[in-house]
Amino acid sequence: MGYMSEVVFAVEADAVPTMLAWCEKHPALKQLLFVQTDTRHLGDYDDAGSYLFHWGWIKWSQYNPGIAKFTEMMDAIECKFEGYGHRFVRYGEDCDDNEADGFAHPDIGVQRSISF
C-alpha cells in the first residue's frame, strides 16, 4: 500500500475562483479535490465561505498527476495571496513527518499526543 498521510487543505473564499479555474484546466486535480476527498466543506467551512478538503489516508506523492497539479495550484494561490489564501497541513506515518503551508486558518494544525 505504501506510505500514507492525512491531509487537510483549506482555501479562503477570495482564493476559491483561482482554485476552481485550476480544476477546470486539470481534470486530475478536480478528481483529487472533489471526488477522492473523505470530507468536503464547499463554501461552508466558516462564515466567510471558505472551502475545506480532507483526505484521511492517502498516498501523498508528487508522482500522482492530481497531487502534482495540486502543488502547482497551491503555489499559484500562495503567490497571488501572499500566503493568506490557503492552509495546507499534512502528516505522515513517521512522527517527524509534518508539513504545513499558508497562513489562513491557523487553527488547522497537527497535534500528536498520548492520552491515558
Domains assigned to the chain = 5-96 (3.30.70)
Distance between CA atoms of residues 37 and 52, nearest Å: 10
| pLDDT tier for residue 2 given thresholds of 50, 70 and 90 | low
Q: Cβ(90)–Cβ(7) under 8 Å? A: yes
pLDDT in tens, 57-87: 999 999 999 999 999 999 999 999 999 999 9
Q: Rounded to two decimals, what is the model's pTM?
A: 0.92
